[in-house]
Amino acid sequence: MATSPPRAPKIPHARTEHGETVVDDWFYLRDRTHPETIPYLEAENRYTAECMQPFADLEATLYEEMKARIQETDVSAPYRMGEYEYYTRTETGKQYPIFCRRDLFAGLDAEETVLDCNALAEGHEYFSLAFQFVSPYGNLLAYAVDTDGSEVYTLRFRDLRSGELLPGEINGVYYGAAWANDSRTFFYTTLDETKRPHKLWRCTAGSMDAPVEVFEEPDARFNVEIDRTRSSRYLALLLSSHTTTEIRLLDADNPEGEFQLLLQRRQDVEYFVEHQGDWLYVRTNDRGKNFRLLRAQAGNPLAELWEEVLPHRDDTTLESVEGFRNHLVVLERHDGLRRFRAQDTLTGAEHFIAFDEPAYTIEPDVNAEYDTPLFRFSYSSLATPRSIFDYNLDTRARELKKRQPVLGGYDPENYVCERIFALSHDDVRVPVSLVYRRDAPPGPKPTYLYGYGSYGIVTEPSFSSERVSLLDRGFVFALAHIRGSADMGRNWYEEGKLGRKKNTFLDFIAAAECLVDSGHTLPDRLAIAGGSAGGLLMGAVTNMRPDLFRAVVAHVPFVDVVNTMLDETLPLTVTEYEEWGNPNEPEAYRYIRSYAPYENVQDGAFPNILVTAGLNDPRVPFWEPAKWVAKLREANSGKACILLKTNMGAGHGGPSGRYEKLKEKAFEYAFVLGRYV
């Protein structure tokens, strides 16, 4: 038997906002140097380990099953860039990928190691690679690593001809980075004190000269990003908030020149640019939420000369544009599913790339070559493993280049995928994607329902080999395509943000009720899961309908919404106002206050709850899940088990190695399988 659950001491802290005084008994947990904080997290970890000890064999079995399905030594589908063919290898027993290349003119045995992440990770509990970019000439490598989960990276350069590191390293780098065409000049972004990428810098690889500040964004709502167009013609500086963008372009042959503004930012108008041939293609929502496509002459991109290529459509969202020398590929979403619209820019002829399954996900894969008719994309569904195809835009022939191996006799034909619709509180139909074994017995089954529903991030019906461990034990796996996502278009997203955020929670509850009413499951056989903003979803629906679920898994949950959004010194807070609202404004404060999970915990019986956190998490600070668990445990009048597991050396994404990630998933599934469903 496990010992009694830990109880974090109460140290009242009063906050008065808009005439309301709130006492937060666990406010002090946000201070990791407080004498009670780390001991409390460690006590919770010990308690979690004790509670899960009876299921250690199940957890070990799940881990071995999951590991046995992956081809541990494997090679990705190679892609061409310049005079080389690039690919990624994994080796049995090694946690991280090895990036490799082969000279196309030197034979199959001429493998070069571009970057071995295992060597870089040696001696570190955590390892993350922000990027690894080979220079246009193929002679230099820029890469950035993080070894504590803070998402603050260190940039290094390597000479790929000699294998030697170049002098100097640059600290505080973020994800955005790009080479200029001279293969010497490199652009990168850095963070301010709130972890916002706010500056763009230029440096010379291997030079000890001080980097040059190129641009600083003063508006705290906006992030700074840098990228290269596929044509290599331009470097694109993107300045973006959650609702507004601005782009400046620089000739990639002239890295010391000035970035030229394409179109002045306008509040609540987003636009994105791709170069193709003589044109700049601009995707914008200036006349409709679902975006339209315009084009401008690359040499004279005056806005008044722009031409419309695809109009705005109420039933179709234009998600991205890929440019090739003689082709354009537009990624659209229609009726909740993606499709590729391919256009020959010489003749104007168009066609769609067709797919057969009722629910699937597609996305462009690595398309490093510009002067080619081949378009590479990935395809998967809830039953079909991730598959890489090369599609010839001229002949319309497709070639399977690589399918994710799933060892142990996995056969997609043994599983059924379907999509049902739940009716939400306002009579809106909410899609729910399902997968289960074809030979599953009739009647209610244990069910695992996942949701996210924020930032317009789409919950794609994609494949997971780990999930087979649930399916083969008789589970239904379900995805709720709720508002707040963009699963059904841009308007779907906007109907689940700001003052309409509760639609997200009510849609998820409707999805759960639909699974029960349709006979797929019962409340005492239903487990739900979500992470980050999906963890907020878990907290909100648990407060609203604790009777509807048997088990809840909340990974790094954003549950202390009011306190976090009131603190402008924290990472992401100001940039998030356009997603959640600004609680410094009375109306926004009252609305957020009405659903925020931490503030709305009430005394009563809860489902069984597993909560995870990362001590170094810069996105959802560790104290949010820690405070929430302390409050849940204080309020719980039932017999449910409430567990907190904090990764003491990781960040938002949890453990970094592939085997460690499998262990985390096995732990989660053991929680769901072994005791609660």
Question: Pairing between strand 551-555 and 526-531?
Answer: parallel
153 CB-near residues (< 8 Å, 6+ apart)? 128, 130, 144, 145, 146, 172, 173, 174, 175
What are the backbone angles phi and psi of residue 369, rounded to the nearest 5°? -90, 140
List the catalytic residue out of 380, 424, 532, 656: 532
Is the Cβ–Cβ distance between 89 and 619 less than 8 Å?
no
57 catalytically annotated: no
The number of residues in the chain equals 677
- The per-residue pLDDT for 1 is 47
For residue 412, what are the CA distances in angstroms to 353, 422, 432? 22, 26, 20
Strand pairing category for 350-353 and 307-310: unpaired
Predicted local confidence at residue 302, as pLDDT: 86
- Give per-residue pLDDT as tens, 287-326: 999 999 999 999 898 888 899 999 999 999 999 999 999 9
**Structural domains of the chain, ranges and CATH numbers in brackets:** 36-67+409-560+597-676 (3.40.50.1820), 75-113 (no CATH), 124-269 (2.130.10.120)
* C-alpha–C-alpha distance, residues 527 and 79, integer Å: 40
Among residues 365, 390, 487, 617, the one annotated as catalytic is 617
Which pair of structure tokens corresponds to residue 614?
Answer: 């990362």
Dist CA 394 CA 97 (whole Å): 34
Beta strands in 456-585 (DSSP E): 476-480, 526-531, 551-555
To the query of whether residue 652 is one of the catalytic residues in this protein, the response is yes
Distances (CA, A) of 594 to 66, 207, 345, 501, 603: 41, 54, 52, 11, 16
Residues whose CB falls within 8 Å of the CB of residue 495, separated by 6 or more in sequence, listed in order: 428, 483, 484, 503
Closest to 128 (Cα-Cα) out of 145, 150, 106: 145
* Residue 84 · residue 102 · CB < 8 Å: yes
d(CA 118, CA 488): 40
pLDDT reported for residue 571:
86
pLDDT at 10: 96
d(CA 323, CA 331): 11
List residues bridging with 144 in a β-sheet: 131, 155
Task: From the candidates 198, 275, 312, 652, give the one annotated as an active-site residue.
Answer: 652
Q: How many CB atoms lie within 10 A of CB 304?
A: 5
Low-confidence ranges of the chain (pLDDT < 50): 1
Task: Give the pairing of strands 526-531 and 447-450.
Answer: parallel
Q: How far is CA 626 from CA 183, 459, 645, in A?
A: 47, 27, 9
pLDDT of 6 reads 95
Q: Do residues 234 and 275 touch, judged by C-beta distance below 8 A?
A: yes
Give residues with Cβ within 8 angstroms of 95, minimum separation 6: 118, 121, 127, 656, 657, 658, 659, 660
